[in-house]
Chain A
Amino acid sequence: MSVKIRKLLTFVDETLVEGGREVSPPVRRAAALAVIENPFAGRYEVDLTVLIEAGAELGELLSQRAVAALGVPGETCQSYGKAALVGENGELEHAAALLHPKMGTPVRKTLGKGAALIPSSKKRGGIGAELDIPLGHKDAAYVRSHFDGMQVSVPDAPRANEIVVAVAVTTGGRPLPRVGGLKHEEAEGKDGLR
């Protein structure tokens, strides 16, 4: 690993009832997080290669941990998302280096496919800050039932010189989707959009 990991976390969230109605099967979502040392905290660095490489390594590690936490084959996961929370001595660009250049490929490998853009969010925050990971259908970004988000936080992170990195995967969309749009069953999954 190109960066030092202080801790790893997984969250598995299952919704059995929504709006008073039973959700069958329950919607299951998993987020895997790593708390890493930010090698560039407190100084301006032009070359962010170390974090770009770490993005690839973390994409593999976190997507595998999230899928394992759901206990299902990666191919059966339906939506995904990623996010990074940079501690106060870091830059937003550090989150971008982790998330954008190289993280996607290993995540898609874990899930078998993944034609769609992986929705992402990033922010800077203090210890315990909440991070909302956006979620979207992995093969067709316009599947409306799968527009969602998962809130996570780590009470003791990020410290000023750390970054929290997260990958989330799900077994389905929102619990009771009924606002129309493209459906999971209708998605072609060729262009990543529909």
Chain B
Amino acid sequence: MTEIRVRKRLLIVEDIFHEGGPIAATPLKRAAALAVIANPFAGRYVEEIAYFMKELEPLGLYMANRLVAALGGDPTKVEGYGKGAIVGSAGELEHGALWHVPGGYAMRGALGEAKAIVASAKKVGGPGARLDVPITHINASYVRSHFDAMEVGINDSPRADEILLALAMTTGARVHARVGGLKASEVQGKDGLR
């Protein structure tokens, strides 16, 4: 059992009305929840790290629920999601990979049913490093209008012995989506792809 020590949290919410084109009838909302935690494996090689995924679950659920609340509180309005991690310089990329399972399951837990794989990105970086969190449709990865990304970061994080964890959710397509492909209205939602 390792205590999850959160130093800092950041919640980012965007309301997007237009990007030079027609003003959206319903603005697109995007939100990201970030948490900066102590990396229990910083500074040395530890073989057995997988147990830490379980420890991260409550934090993941807290962040996922906070995102749903930030987007208006109705989980059925959430259409896109993604996740990511920035590992401080005394850690390994593999430490960031510990976020895949708890981050993904937390969002599925908060959203009820979500079939698609949660898009993700991770890197090792210093304080202020930015991460582009990829975002895709929650039930069908091929929905082209929902391919998006949200750039996040915190100026004083992650320190060398920390990990910055991120989850992101959106309420819909890019504000002026018009490059074709599978539409959200055509999703079958069986295999998580189409």
Residues of A within 8 A of B12 (CB): 9-11
Q: Is the beta-carbon distance between B7 and A16 smaller than 8 angstroms?
A: yes
A15 touches B13 (CB 8 A): no
Does chain B have a CB within 8 A of A176?
A: no
A86 nearest CB across to chain B (Å): 19
> Which of A7, A11, A13, A151 contacts B17, CB < 8 Å?
A7
Residues B7 and A7 in contact, CB atoms below 8 Å apart: no
Q: Is A193 an interface residue (CB 8 A)?
A: no
Q: Is B155 an interface residue (CB 8 A)?
A: yes
Q: In the complex, which range does the number of interface residues on chain B fall in?
A: 10 to 19
A12 engages B11 (CB within 8 Å): yes
Asked if residues A6 and B18 are in contact (CB atoms below 8 Å), the reply is: yes
Which residues of chain A have C-beta atoms less than 8 A from B151's C-beta? 155
**Contact across chains for B17 and A6 when beta carbons are under 8 A apart:** yes
| B9 close to A13 (CB less than 8 A) | yes
Q: How far is the CB of B36 from chain A (nearest CB, A)?
A: 9
Chain B residues near A12 (CB-CB < 8 A): 9-11
For residue B64, give the distance in angstroms from its CB to the closest CB of chain A.
16
Residue contact B155 to A15, C-beta cutoff 8 Å: no
Contact A16 B17 (CB under 8 A): no
Nearest Cβ distance between residue A78 and chain B, in whole angstroms?
Answer: 19
Question: Shortest beta-carbon distance, A152 to chain B, in Å?
Answer: 9
Cβ of B16 under 8 Å from chain A: yes
For residue B10, which residues in chain A have a CB less than 8 angstroms away from its CB? 11-14
Q: How far is the CA of A152 from the CA of B79 in the complex (A)?
A: 26
**Which residues of B sit under 8 angstroms from A14, Cβ to Cβ?**
8-10
Q: From B6, B8, B14, B155, give the contact of A151 (CB < 8 A).
A: B155
Q: How far is the CA of A73 from the CA of B61 in the complex (A)?
A: 27
Known pairs A16-B6, A17-B6, A151-B155; A9 contacts B15 (CB<8 A): yes
Chain A nearest Cβ from B38, distance in angstroms? 8
19 further A-B contacts with Cβ under 8 Å, apart from A9-B13, A17-B5, are A6-B19, A8-B15, A8-B17, A9-B12, A10-B13, A11-B12, A11-B13, A12-B9, A12-B11, A13-B8, A13-B9, A13-B10, A13-B154, A14-B8, A14-B10, A16-B8, A69-B11, A69-B13, A155-B130
3 A-B pairs with the lowest CB-CB distances in the bound complex, closest first? A155-B151, A17-B7, A12-B11
